[in-house]
Amino acid sequence: MLRRVLAAASVLALAACSATEPTPSQGERVVTLVTHDSFVVKPELLDAFKAETGITVKQVASGDAGELTNKLVLTKDSPIGDVAFGVDSTFASRALKEGVFAEYDSGAAKNGAQRYALTPANRLHAVDVGDVCLNYDIAALKDKGEPQKFADLLDPKYKDLLVVEDPATSSPGLAFLLSTIATYGDGGDSDWRTYWAGLKANGVKVVSGWEEAYTQDFSGSAGKGPRPIVVSYASSPSAEIGADGNPRTRAVFDTCYRQVEYAGVLSGAKNTEDARKVVDFLLSEKFQSTVAENMYVYPSREGVSLPESWAKAAPLPPSSRTVPADLLDAKREEWVKQWRSLVVG
């Protein structure tokens, strides 16, 4: 998905703890897990996994989803690890076309991950789901009214109130662009380009990434910025609960784009058998029950309970837009180039 900076201090603390990798001893079974920068796993889970299997998991963080994918493609003939996690649905088609991942059918995928299977289905397994949507500051828009759909943002009453991320440098920014393409189409007299021209005329602000947009420009976060509408995640309101127990922000479900993050065994991995066990671990109930709290995403596994606050503030959107993988792979670079020419200049 992607580089996702978490919005809760407790989650950041967990990330710092997990950054201290175990030091394998001589002869120890080690699996190198290559991830995006925002991957978080509780150390005690890895300790329990090691006690059960004898496998030490060594994590190597490699940027956001786009950077991770590029690195995996460039090193596919001499892989930098055994397993990769964090290639998301906006980049997965490229990784599959380049042969980055080896064949493996995890039995754990039958518990929900199969709903997000790609073609071929035996190379990548869905670990989590994160819907990118517009978020807004409820109190700040009390007098103006709350936006309900894309077209509302063209209304002059929302002039200079929206901040978005650059799709060339940000995974949520790319997801938001794709959502507008899925909504307005690619071609014709009034397609996505017309919509973005309208956003530009209405004062949209573009920044490089989610952290800047959400923590600096958005008024509904801790940064208390000047803009009450931002591109973020459907789960973000769960981090913005007020003293009264109610969320201070809300996601606009009609604008959501579904991102899925995958894990797979790397082709040419030195430790294929143990790498498969790590994929199984990422799909296990033990790990899946932690992804909402630790990474602010929804588990791919069915029947996993979410934190209590999510029921009110961050339910999974009932439906979200997507772009077919083949079309996305063929048009991604062209769309981003056209967007930059139109919006940034």
Pick among 2.60.40.2310, 3.40.50.300, 2.40.50.140, 3.40.190.10: CATH of 9-130+258-308 = 3.40.190.10
- Integer CA distances (angstroms), 135 to 50, 191, 208, in order: 40, 23, 18
Distance in angstroms (rounded) separating the CA atoms of residues 167 and 154: 20
Query: Does 19 have pLDDT greater than 50?
Result: no
What are the domain boundaries of the chain? 9-130+258-308, 131-257+314-344
Indicate the SS3 state at residue 199. Answer: helix
pLDDT of residue 13: 37
Between CA 169 and CA 177, with CA 171 as vertex, the angle to 5 degrees is 90
Between CA 294 and CA 324, with CA 147 as vertex, the angle to 5 degrees is 60
Query: Tens digit of pLDDT for each residue in 259-297?
Result: 999 999 999 999 999 999 999 999 999 999 999 999 989
Instruction: Return the CATH fold of 131-257+314-344.
Output: D-Maltodextrin-Binding Protein; domain 2 (3.40.190)
Which has the closest alpha carbon to 36: 250, 178, 209? 209
Residue owning tokens 């008024």: 219
Contact 260, 128 (CB under 8 A): yes
Provide the residue type at 208 as one letter. Answer: S
Q: Kindly state the average pLDDT of the residues 239-255.
A: 93
pLDDT of residue 28: 82
pLDDT of residue 26: 56
Distance in angstroms (rounded) separating the CA atoms of residues 152 and 280: 44
- Integer CA distances (angstroms), 196 to 12, 87, 153, 158, 343, in order: 34, 27, 10, 14, 7
pLDDT of residue 325: 84
pLDDT of residue 188: 81
pLDDT of residue 5: 42
Least confident of 62-66, 180-184, 194-198, 326-330: 62-66
* pLDDT greater at residue 26 or residue 212: 212
Q: Kindly state the average pLDDT of the residues 17-32.
A: 63
Q: Kindly state the average pLDDT of the residues 112-133.
A: 93
pLDDT of residue 27: 65
Concatenating the DSSP letter of every residue in 216-245 gives IIBTTSTT--SBSEEEEETTGGGG-B-TTS
pLDDT of residue 15: 37
Distance in angstroms (rounded) separating the CA atoms of residues 154 and 196: 9
Contact 304, 246 (CB under 8 A): no
Q: Kindly state the average pLDDT of the residues 45-58.
A: 97
Query: Does 30 have pLDDT greater than 80?
Result: yes
Q: List, in sequence order, every residue forming a beta bridge with 229; answer none if it has no partner.
A: 136, 162
pLDDT of residue 24: 53
Indicate the SS3 state at residue 170. Answer: coil
Distance in angstroms (rounded) separating the CA atoms of residues 251 and 137: 9
Fold agreement (9-130+258-308, 131-257+314-344)? yes
Query: Does 122 have pLDDT greater than 70?
Result: yes
pLDDT of residue 16: 38
